[in-house]
Amino acid sequence: MDELRANAYDLSSLRFLLTGGAILSARPRPSCSELVPGLTTVDILGSSESAARE
């Protein structure tokens, strides 16, 4: 997020941000939407990330 705030990038065509391996915490989500209007963040989880833990 610091990089996006510090430098101008044309991200106007970016529509989706897919994350994997771990759920993106709630803290950066509003920043993503603020910096890239219209961005949809999606957590992609496989069986190893979503399995019940013992």
Q: What is the pLDDT of residues 8-45, one digit of tens each?
A: 889 889 899 888 877 777 777 778 888 888 989 888 87
For residue 19, what is the DSSP state? E
Question: What is the structure's pLDDT at 30?
Answer: 76
Q: How far is CA 6 from CA 3, 30, 48, in A?
A: 5, 17, 36
Q: Determine the 3-state secondary structure of 41 from DSSP.
A: strand
Beta bridge partners of 17: 41
Domain membership of residue 53 (yes or no) is no
Q: Is residue 9 assigned to a domain?
A: yes
> What's the pLDDT score for residue 23?
75
The reply to whether 54 falls in a domain is no
Question: What range defines the domain where residue 9 resides?
Answer: 2-46
pLDDT at 15: 93
Is 41 a domain residue? Answer: yes
**Residue 16, pLDDT score:** 93
pTM of the model: 0.61
Instruction: Classify the C-alpha dihedral 34-35-36-40 as positive or negative.
Output: negative
Number of structural domains (the chain) is: 1
Residue 37 forms part of a structural domain: yes
In a domain, 51, yes or no: no
Q: What are the C-alpha distances in Å from 21 to residues 6, 14, 47, 51?
A: 27, 21, 10, 12
Predicted pLDDT at 53: 61
